[in-house]
Amino acid sequence: MFLSFFDTRFDPRTLIFLTLSFSVVVISVSSFQLSLGLFIFALGLAVLFRAPLVSTFKKIMLLDGFMILALLSLPFTFASGPSLLIWGVSVYLDGFWLAVSIALKANSIFLCFTALMGRMGVAEFAHALAHLKVPTQFVQILLLMVRYIDVLRLELERMRTAMKCRGFQYSTSWHCWKSIGHLIGMLFVRSIERGEQILTAMKCRGFQGTFPLLHHFHYGRRDSLLILSFFSGLLLFLIFSSSLNLASLMELPSHG
Amino acid sequence: MHIMDGVVSSSLVVGATIVAVSAVGFGLKRIEPDDIPKIALLAAAFFVASVIRVPIGPTSAHLMLTGLLGLVLGPAIFPAIFAGLMLQTFIFGFGGITVLGLNLVNMALPGFLAYLIFMPFLQKEFQSRARDLYASSSSSGHKTFRFIQKNRTFLIGFCAGSFAIAGSLLMVAFSLALSGQAFIPVAKFMVLANLPLIVIEGLFVGVILQFLTSLKPELFAQVNLLQTPALQSSTELRT
Amino acid sequence: MAEAYFKLQDISFSRPGFAPLFSELNFEVYSRETIGLVGGNGAGKTSLFHLLMGLLKPSSGEIIAFGKTCSSEGDFLDVRTQAGYLFQNSDDQLFCPTVEEDVSFGPLNLGQSHKKAIEITTKVLSDLGLSGFEKRITHHLSGGEKRLVALASVLAMEPKVLLLDEPTTGLDELAYERLTDILKRLDISKVIISHDETFLSALTERTYRLKAGQLHLL
């Protein structure tokens, strides 16, 4: 009974609002304890909303590779506070804890996003934006993009296949680079022409500059209930985690 | 070169979001309803092209092409890239939610500046191309001069592409540095590691711009910067 | 004795989640012969070409191309330089700004010098009656001209076999006749997918129908 509540469909606007609020809370807290509390809260959300945790984990691993490297480098480059000497390399604790807290924050937001919005379709998302008073022109750009990204991706694939059939191989050479440049140029030309065709087709069907919205959403009592329980839960977690004493953990044996 | 959630300070997030929202609004105001399919499809193509890897010795790199997008879209670059970033966040779940605005500003603003700076040059190039149709002037002079004459479009593209990515790099580094002392070494490293990309982006934007101007010159003709009648259109001259 | 260019032995292939497209299919292409290939939509004609070019991999069976058993991507790099594949949609094939750049793309991939590549291009274009097209912008050509330029770009690699996927669709009468004429004069092996019976009977020695994963001689 309790769990099935989280399986019901909520108004997408509610979910977007909650995800955004949570993200703002996460980035505005500065203490490590609170970040940890919020992370556990997000983990709880992921379990309650039955987010596919394995694929979520894989996605987390895909998080921008460079930033992961940057995080990994922090304990070595941020020369401040006490340091440990591990295999002859100084590891700065301040840098280490900073990296951990950033990782916690990024993953909390990601987990919350996957839990609340992971099952929402892109089209539904775009429509929800329109109902949240995002300009329709922007929503229309988003919807057309969603519709045609795959079409263009397939076109690109076909052109690359054709290049392969003519013996093209990737290498560091001007010939290769120029060919890739032409390939991208051709992709742009085709996308522009398709855009022109779409406009013509839209005009043939009576387009006069406005886009009608078909989807409408219903904000109901379950949405209020979700918002209420979400924020009370969040508050509880924040109070609880701020009362924890993690200071002893932060001051590991140091060779300051 | 995305910054992820949790790295930058909240005041920077708030500031960048305000700038981003106004920039997108500014861009949307300058869009005619008839331009929407073209902008959306170009944004989609840009999104699709970002998977292409350019081999550089033993490694490879992705292209940003924001300088090119700026030249093609003008102010519409803001909504176009914003839609792309939003989809990236939505479909792949990364790209960052709170830093959406910051990432948009870091990517699109240099592209838009490249448009403001280099579009007049491109327009001039179109006008002289149109003149050359009448008087097939066999340009004389020094060898380098002739080379520049012949490859002016490429050079404009090279400058726009390099300018945009260099701008993005500096802005990302600056955002990191603003967020705290801790990130300064990382920011420095990031700029150094990406220096070769500035040249490579330039080369690609140059080649693609040359391609687009010969296949679809109408994309660049009759452009009024910021919608103020500024330059004589080249199509008029050609007819 | 005619040399076998392609030998497919007991090839089976299926797309993930679909019924098998080919089951233990056998197919051979010898030097200097022209084969027609017909079959309904979705019978797998284009997929057969993709198997020959190594763009798809069979689930079982053996592909022997130009005397060599081919299985890895590396094996097929060689095949792609000896077999020329003309795509159904020429726009997928032509991606360079000018005709000259498009036609010389293949020779440059084969490692020819820039000068040699231009020489080949000029020759192939004049063979196909396209002299003077060098500096034209490919994208602005008519459908028929694009098809011929695509054919030129394939012929520039001096292939031993041509794989033609619906070469006549969308051509007007003039372009149609020009293409038929050019293909008749070309003294290399050809495999032609087409729905056009007159076209096939004018060019081919034998025609197969692809049906239910098997080839039937007509």
Domains and CATH numbers, chain C: 4-217 (3.40.50.300)
Residue A212 lies in a domain: no
Tokens describing residue C30: 């010898």
* Residue B5 resides in a domain: no
**pLDDT for B93:** 66
Helix (H) or strand (E) holding A132: none
In a domain, A256, yes or no: no
What does DSSP say about strands C60-65 and C4-13: parallel, antiparallel, or unpaired? Answer: antiparallel
Its domain, for residue A23, covers 3-120+218-250
The domain containing residue B232 runs over which residues? 10-238
- Judged against a pLDDT cut of 60, whether residue B228 lies above it is answered with no
- What are the counts of helices (DSSP H) followed by strands (DSSP E) for chain B? 9, 2
| C85/chain A closest Cα distance in angstroms | 7
Neighbours of chain C (3+ CB pairs under 8 A): A, B
Tell me if A109 and B97 make a contact (CB, 8 A cut-off): yes
Does any domain span residue A255? no
Question: How many separate domains does chain B show?
Answer: 1
Give the confidence band of A63 by pLDDT, cuts at 50, 70, 90.
Answer: low
Average of per-residue pLDDT across A100-127:
85
CA of B234 to nearest chain A CA: how many angstroms apart? Answer: 20
Has residue A209 been placed in a domain?
A: no
For B216, the closest of A20, A117, A189 (CB atoms) is: A189
Q: Tokens 């879209």 map to which residue?
A: B73
Residues A151-210 pLDDT 10s: 999 999 999 999 999 989 888 899 999 999 999 999 999 999 988 888 888 877 777 766
Reported ipTM: 0.86
Examine the domain organization and report whether A8 and A111 are in the same domain. yes
> Residue A116's closest CA among A175, A49, A38, A178?
A49
Domain count, chain A: 2
Chain A residues with CB under 8 Å of a chain C CB are: 155, 158-159, 161-169, 175, 179, 182-183, 185-186, 189-190
pLDDT, residue A82, reads 67
CB–CB contact A188 B182 (8 Å): no
**Are B2 and A67 a contacting pair at CB < 8 A?**
yes
Q: How far is A5 from chain B (nearest CA, A)?
A: 24
What is d(CA A219, CA A199) in angstroms, rounded to the nearest whole number? 34
CB contact under 8 A, B214 and C137: yes
B212 min Cα distance to partner chain A (Å)? 6
Q: E strand or H helix at C139, and its extent?
A: none
What's B33's domain CATH number? 1.10.1760.20
Same domain, A188 and A67: no
DSSP one-letter string for A152-166? HHHHHHHHHHHHHHT
pLDDT at residue A196 in the model: 87
Assess whether A239 and A195 both reside in one domain.
no
Instruction: Tell me how many residue pairs between chain A and chain B have CB atoms under 8 A apart.
Output: 217
**Do C36 and C203 meet the contact criterion of CB atoms below 8 Å apart?**
yes
**B1 located within any domain:** no
Residues 6+ apart with CB under 8 A from C184: C202, C203
Q: Which of A32, A30, A85, A29 is nearest to A247 (CA)?
A: A32
pLDDT of A248 higher than 80: no
Contact criterion met (CB below 8 Å) for B111 and B70: yes
**H helix or E strand, kind and range, residue B182:** none
Backbone φ/ψ region at B226: left (φ over 0), alpha (ψ -120 to 50), beta: left
Q: What is the pLDDT, as a whole number, of residue A253?
A: 46
| For B210, nearest residue in chain C (alpha carbons) | C97
pLDDT of residue A252: 47
Please state, in angstroms and as integers, the Cα–Cα distance from residue C69 to each residue in B207, C9, C174, following that order.
Answer: 40, 11, 41
Please indicate if any CB of chain A lies within 8 Å of the CB of B229.
Answer: no
Q: Quote the pLDDT of residue A60.
A: 67
Which chain A residues are Cβ-neighbours of B13 within 8 angstroms? 27
Residues B152, B124: Cα–Cα separation, whole Å? 10
Min Cα distance B93 → chain C (Å) is 27
Q: Per residue in B165-208, pLDDT tens?
A: 999 999 999 998 888 777 888 888 888 988 999 999 999 999 99
Q: Is A183 a domain residue?
A: yes
Residue A182: its chain C contacts at CB < 8 A?
Answer: 95-97, 101
